[in-house]
Amino acid sequence: MEDTIRYMSGHRGGTTRLHVERVAARSIQFSNLSPDTTHADITAAVRGGALLDIYLRRRDGAASVAFVHGDDAQAFYDHARRNGLFVRDKRAKVKWSDRLYTLPGHLAQKLEAGASRNIVIRRCDASHTEVSIREDLEHIHNLVVVKLLFLDGDCYISTNSVAHAMKYKGSRIEWDSDECAMPLEHVPPFRHRQSGPSPPLRHSAANSMENRFKVLDLDD
């Protein structure tokens, strides 16, 4: 967790590249997942490139991830096949998606301009809590909040999709780096999971606040 916080607060946009391929082999499928797998478990296991989209099918014990860059997808696939991929300390099966992921032109342009699946709210008010921010984001169709971190007065929000996060990026919200773009050597090793309840979330008193996510659409 500390490495993720340090990366998200200290980097912007992952690997610097000007061109994003519209058509590429960028989607990889995971199977043999635990039924308790979450989006956060998937992002914790993926490194080597920023992600376009994460789709989780818990009933099937499966998920798919699409990388921004096809060469990052290839490098991750090779690494996973060579070293194994563990999600929630369970070995996952990895294969290429049957279809190429084709980017719409406007999405490719936004990615080249710095769009990410993660956003950051600068200078959060003390009344802003994880609960209140999640409630603000509930109206965004198909958007999943993977992780939410408060650091030095800012709020870092990791989501499941560039396209869904992009619709609500506004003047008080900035794009943040993608922790999955950390180098492949940062893929967490297999370790036995300790059983027991998760620690409770810490919430401060929530005050009513304006929904800051209904602001400037990038297409305006």
Domain harbouring 159, CATH code? 3.30.70.330
Is residue 211 domain-resident?
no
Band (179; pLDDT cuts 50, 70, 90): confident
Secondary structure element (H or E) that encloses residue 149, with its range: strand 145-151
User: Of 49-58, 72-81, 114-123, 187-196, where does mean pLDDT reach its minimum?
Assistant: 187-196
Is residue 209 domain-resident?
no
Is residue 199 domain-resident?
no
Residue 82 has pLDDT above 90, yes or no: yes
Is residue 194 domain-resident?
no
When pLDDT is averaged across residues 60-85 and rounded to a whole number, the result is 97
Number of independent structural domains in the chain:
1
The pTM score is 0.74
The two tokens of residue 2 are: 């500390």
The per-residue pLDDT of the chain, averaged, comes to: 80
Is residue 115 domain-resident?
yes
Whether the Cβ atoms of residue 160 and residue 117 lie closer than 8 Å to each other: yes
Band (100; pLDDT cuts 50, 70, 90): confident
Band (88; pLDDT cuts 50, 70, 90): very high
Whether the Cβ atoms of residue 110 and residue 52 lie closer than 8 Å to each other: no
Could you list the residue range(s) of the whole structural domain that residue 89 is in?
2-12+23-185
Residue whose structure tokens are 């950390």: 182
Is residue 192 domain-resident?
no
When pLDDT is averaged across residues 88-95 and rounded to a whole number, the result is 96
Is residue 53 domain-resident?
yes
Is residue 195 domain-resident?
no
